[in-house]
């Protein structure tokens, strides 16, 4: 119990939740910091609702990126798909070179405003770290481990699921960690196409020259990213201990 209370992750998560709950009552504080502003506190939406919407955007886009990125990485490391590896890497890398704002600008006329264009932009932006992590993780599996698995009669897909992926899991998870953290920050721009997120106060603040709004949204986005990063760090430690 004492060890749990000393966990930085627990305190960071508690701070994030406390800020979410306390933000609606922080008007006097921001009014003191920014006396020139008529409305120093963002009140158009609940910060808790914005946080839930932000997490949902990141979760959906990251899940899709994991399925596509890991799937592509696995396929191009198989004998039948190795010739497509350079093509897949080029396409995924090209997807990340497009700024998310540009992807949104292209997607909105086709799909419309809302969460869907934001998810597409986050998906394209989050694929590369997952693909690279999958390729690096599977590539780092010792050849001797595969030889032993073949020697005991395992089929290629059994070797993948029982040998390669468990050994590659820490490296793959590191790629997923990078992708998710990137998407937490990038999801803030989803508000530009009508999707709710913690970036909503930031976008409104920037357009209305309201620094208080920007600070309120930015603090929560940053804390969410830090909490998520520490959560992945703990998960990586657990995987590394069990991989030894």
Number of domains in the chain: 1
Instruction: Label residue 7 left, alpha or beta by phi (over 0 means left) and psi (-120 to 50 means alpha).
Output: beta
3, part of any domain:
no
Q: What is the pLDDT of residue 1?
A: 47
Q: Is residue 18 part of a domain?
A: no
Q: What pLDDT, on a 0 to 100 scale, did the predictor assign at position 2? A: 47
- pLDDT tens-place string over residues 142-186: 988 888 888 888 888 888 888 999 999 999 999 999 999 999 999
Q: What is the pLDDT of residue 243?
A: 58
The residues, ordered by sequence, that sit 6+ positions from 4 with a Cβ below 8 Å of its Cβ are 10
Residue 33 within a domain:
no
Q: For 83-93, what is each residue's pLDDT tens digit?
A: 999 999 999 98
| 222 within 8 A of 187, measured Cβ to Cβ | no
> Which tokens sit at 158?
């059994």
For the beta carbon of residue 85, count every other beta carbon within 10 angstroms.
15
Residue 52 forms part of a structural domain: yes
Mean of pLDDT values over 26-32: 93
Asked whether residue 221 is assigned to any structural domain, the reply reads yes
Mean pLDDT of 73-87: 91
Between 134 and 5, where is the model more confident? 134
| Separation between Cα atoms, residue 20 and residue 234, nearest integer Å | 24
154 phi/psi in degrees, rounded to 5: -75, 145
Mean predicted confidence (pLDDT) in 224-228: 95
Is the residue at 160 inside a domain? Answer: yes
- Contact at 8 Å (CB) between 40 and 49? no
Q: 4 lies in a domain? A: no
Q: What is the pTM of this model?
A: 0.90
Report the CATH number that the domain containing residue 126 is assigned in CATH. Answer: 1.10.3720.10
Domain ranges, residue 184: 47-243
In a domain, 119, yes or no: yes
**pLDDT attached to residue 7:** 72
Residue 192 makes CB contacts below 8 A (sequence gap 6+) with 101, 104, 203
pLDDT higher at 191 or 40: 40
**What pLDDT shows up at residue 3?**
52
- Whether 100 has a pLDDT exceeding 90, the answer reads no
């Amino acid at each position: 119990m004492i060890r749990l209370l000393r966990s930085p992750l627990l305190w960071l998560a508690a701070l994030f939740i406390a800020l979410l709950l306390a933000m609606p009552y922080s008007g006097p504080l921001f009014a003191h910091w920014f006396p020139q502003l008529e409305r120093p506190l963002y009140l158009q939406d609940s910060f808790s609702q914005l946080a839930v919407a932000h997490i949902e955007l990141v979760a959906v886009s990251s899940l899709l990126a994991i399925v596509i990125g890991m799937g592509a990485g696995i396929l191009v490391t198989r004998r039948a798909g190795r010739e497509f590896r350079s093509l897949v890497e080029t396409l995924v890398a090209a997807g990340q070179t497009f700024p998310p704002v540009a992807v949104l600008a292209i997607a909105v006329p086709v799909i419309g405003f809302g969460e869907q264009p934001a998810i597409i932009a986050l998906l394209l932006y989050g694929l590369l770290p997952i693909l690279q992590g999958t390729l690096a993780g599977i590539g780092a599996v010792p050849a001797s481990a595969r030889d032993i698995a073949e020697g005991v009669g395992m089929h290629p897909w059994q070797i993948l699921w029982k040998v390669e992926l468990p050994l590659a899991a820490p490296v793959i998870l590191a790629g997923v960690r990078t992708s998710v953290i990137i998407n937490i920050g990038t999801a803030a721009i989803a508000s530009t196409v009508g999707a709710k997120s913690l970036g909503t106060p930031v976008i409104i603040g920037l357009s209305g020259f309201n620094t208080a709004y920007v600070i309120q949204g930015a603090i929560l986005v940053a804390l969410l990213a830090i909490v998520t990063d520490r959560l992945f760090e703990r998960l990586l430690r657990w995987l590394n201990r069990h991989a030894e």
